[in-house]
Amino acid sequence: MPHLKDVAPQLAQQAIELPSWAFGNSGTRFKVFGSAGTARDPFEKIADAAQVHRYTGLAPVVALHIPWDTVESFADLRKHAEDLGVQLGTVNSNTFQDDDYKLGALTHTDATIRRKAIDHHLECIDVMDATGSRDLKIWLAEGSNYPGQADLRGRQDRLAESLATIYERIGENQRLVLEYKFFEPAFYHTDVPDWGTSYAQVSALGERAVVCLDTGHHAPGTNIEFIVMQLLRLGKLGSFDFNSRFYADDDLIVGAADPFQLFRILFEVVRGGGYGNPDVAFMLDQCHNIEQKIPGQIRSVLNVQEMTARALLVDTEALTAAQESGDVLGANAIFMDAFYTDVRPGLAEWRESRGLPADPMKAYAASGYQQQIETDRVGGAQASWGA
């Protein structure tokens, strides 16, 4: 098996994109808990995200959500980010919080509502032009609750038409990324429920349209790494929304619920050429309902790094030999050896060799930043999941 030192150059290629909304308060439909020091505006969210990068060196990009992160000047927000050593990344559209979209947005039967939803996406592209962002990520909360409520085929056709109108405005160096989710908020059918539908829709658009895979968006028991393999094979894996789940779309810390699944996914990413490949964005899509937000994000990026390191440690030559000779248990043992390797001491050394703290969680706790924001951010409304 390779040693961690052998894969150090590859570890340096890791770049994770943080969600701005992870730095606002969030909760469930029962309660949103406020917590001391939470960011009050997009500028403070970016400042908090920059802390994660500062202590880990792993998270140089921050994804925005519009209109939650709308500011007067995106050029100012961009400069603020760059001054803090991070970049603005993916722009997420939002068609799930407007009364007009109760029965659909890009799929609505009413052309005026469809137009409104399309225009929102065009505004997001304007934001991307100002922030220098490459990706427009679209997650649609559209579907129906009762059989017979909607014309499934008609909605799919209208979706294709609306996406095509948005895609026309996507710049040469930009991409449209379509996320899927099997249910919620709609409970009977969802218009983009699975990777196949997303793949069919983006393939009809063109080369600059790709799929986003959110790890929490599948039915229990789904083999997610198989989907990763297939989308990479087809050249259509545009990005990840990483998080973990026990039940549905829980948006918990990535690697918390099932570290082995994260390992299997990252192994397929490496195997399929998706690692160190700018065409695949590694985003987090998480909410920190009860834990502190900045350490929550630090824990998350460290979890991704630990499982990436383990995936890079798989002895692929020995694995191929075992696979090809039909050595079922041997192949499985080679795979599991890498998974069970504790890379944490090695990664601590790796960090120190790059001028980073050996233990980013401890370093953040000792920095005084948390106490500072708890003291400073007393006036104004805290950002919540959303604005």
Among 14, 56, 92, 300, which residue interacts with ligand AOS (rule: CB under 6 A)?
92
Q: Which is nearer to ligand AOS, 185 or 345 (CB)?
A: 185
From the number of C-beta atoms within 10 Å of its C-beta (0-12, 13-18, 19+), residue 345 rates as exposed
350 binds ligand AOS (CB under 6 A): no
Per-residue x/- mask for ligand AOS, residues 216 to 255, rule CB under 6 A?
-------------------------x-------x------
Task: Select from 293, 187, 277, 289 the least CA-distant residue to 240.
Answer: 277
Among 44, 48, 285, 306, which residue interacts with ligand AOS (rule: CB under 6 A)?
285
Q: Which is nearer to ligand AOS, 17 or 241 (CB)?
A: 241
| # chain residues binding ligand AOS, by CB under 6 A | 9
Distance of CA 266 to the CA centre of its chain: 14
Q: Rounded to 5 degrees, what are φ and ψ at 124?
A: -60, -35
From the number of C-beta atoms within 10 Å of its C-beta (0-12, 13-18, 19+), residue 32 rates as middle
**Type and span of the H or E element at 352:** helix 344-353
Strands 237-242 and 209-214, how do they pair? parallel
Rg (CA), the chain: 21
Q: Are 218 and 193 in contact (CB under 8 A)?
A: no
Judged by beta carbon distances under 5 to 8 A according to partner kind, the member of ligand AOS, Zn ion, none in contact with residue 120 is: none
Task: Select from 134, 114, 153, 99 the least CA-distant residue to 238.
Answer: 134
Residues that bind Zn ion (CB under 5 A): 214, 241, 249, 285
Q: Which is nearer to ligand AOS, 43 or 183 (CB)?
A: 183
Which residue type is seen at 386? G
Smallest gap from Cβ 285 to ligand AOS, in A, equals 5
Among 17, 48, 191, 214, which residue interacts with ligand AOS (rule: CB under 6 A)?
214
Q: Which is nearer to ligand AOS, 179 or 306 (CB)?
A: 179
Smallest gap from Cβ 241 to Zn ion, in A, equals 3
Smallest gap from Cβ 304 to Zn ion, in A, equals 15
Q: Looking at residues 132 to 171 of the shown chain, list those that interact with ligand AOS (rule: CB under 6 A).
A: 139
Question: Which DSSP category does 7 fall into?
Answer: G
List interacting residues with ligand AOS (CB under 6 A).
Answer: 21, 92, 139, 179, 181, 214, 241, 249, 285
